[in-house]
Chains A and B, each alone.
Chain A
């Protein structure tokens, strides 16, 4: 079964603390992994794609195929990082669908 698991509904950290949002996936092939973010009153937007191996707004994510994980990390959290974060998997092929996790709400306290 294709599934994305985000075990934490809420992650609360203080400004300047490191952040790690966990994402585990279940898929037998080679999926594409994404992180999407939704700031308050804004639309869902793409944050990272694993194939681009880029850092956006200080966030990075490494695909670990052995552990089937794609955790999102940032060394020093900022208050403006507070948002809902969704990990998503695309199986690829003819159907370019996304399978989302349930999301983690990141709250960065001042």
Chain B
């Protein structure tokens, strides 16, 4: 089992651009969550999806959106990038409520 895989690993974008980050969960995991980790801080919850439905959304602007596909993989989209969006974006998958999450290695996004 490859674990949770994320792509790309690193990305550099210009302010105002759009970015799409991708995540493949562990086989059998139907829950996928996205977190943003700014340097020196703990991960901050962005979205959770379960069985292709949004189950939760953190305190992020509407520029952030996500979706989950029938194979349970997920995309995080960020529009109109700001410098402050520079962070490590983590994807995590889980069997469901009550189970711990397994995290991917993350995508390092730099906005210049």
* B56 A43 Cβ-Cβ under 8 A: no
B8-63 residues at the A interface, CB under 8 angstroms: 31, 33, 35, 40-45, 48, 50, 55-56, 58
Q: Give residues in A with beta carbon < 8 Å to B.
A: 4, 32, 34, 36, 43-46, 49, 51, 86, 88, 92-103
Q: Which residues of the other chain, A, contact B92 by a CB distance below 8 angstroms?
A: 98
Q: Chain A nearest CB: distance from B58 CB in Å?
A: 7
Choose, from B64-72, B74-82, B96-104, the stretch at the interface: B96-104
Q: Which residues of the other chain, B, contact A97 by a CB distance below 8 angstroms?
A: 33, 45, 48, 56, 58
* A100 B97 Cβ-Cβ under 8 A: no
**Complex Cα spacing A88 to B41, Å:** 13
Option from A43, A49, A92 in Cβ contact (under 8 Å) with B97: A92
Q: Which residues of the other chain, A, contact B107 by a CB distance below 8 angstroms?
A: none
| Chain B residue nearest to A102 in the complex (CB) | B42
Q: Which residues of the other chain, A, contact B56 by a CB distance below 8 angstroms?
A: 94-97
**Complex Cα spacing A7 to B33, Å:** 26
| Chain A residue nearest to B90 in the complex (CB) | A44
* B103 A43 Cβ-Cβ under 8 A: yes
| Chain A residue nearest to B54 in the complex (CB) | A95
* B41 A96 Cβ-Cβ under 8 A: no
**Complex Cα spacing A93 to B105, Å:** 27
**Complex Cα spacing A101 to B42, Å:** 6
* B105 A43 Cβ-Cβ under 8 A: yes
Known contacts: A34-B100, A45-B103, A96-B97. The answer to whether A102 contacts B40 by CB under 8 A is yes
* A51 B90 Cβ-Cβ under 8 A: no
Residue of A43, A51, A99 contacting most chain B CB atoms (<10 Å): A43
Residue of B33, B92, B100 contacting most chain A CB atoms (<10 Å): B100
* B55 A94 Cβ-Cβ under 8 A: yes
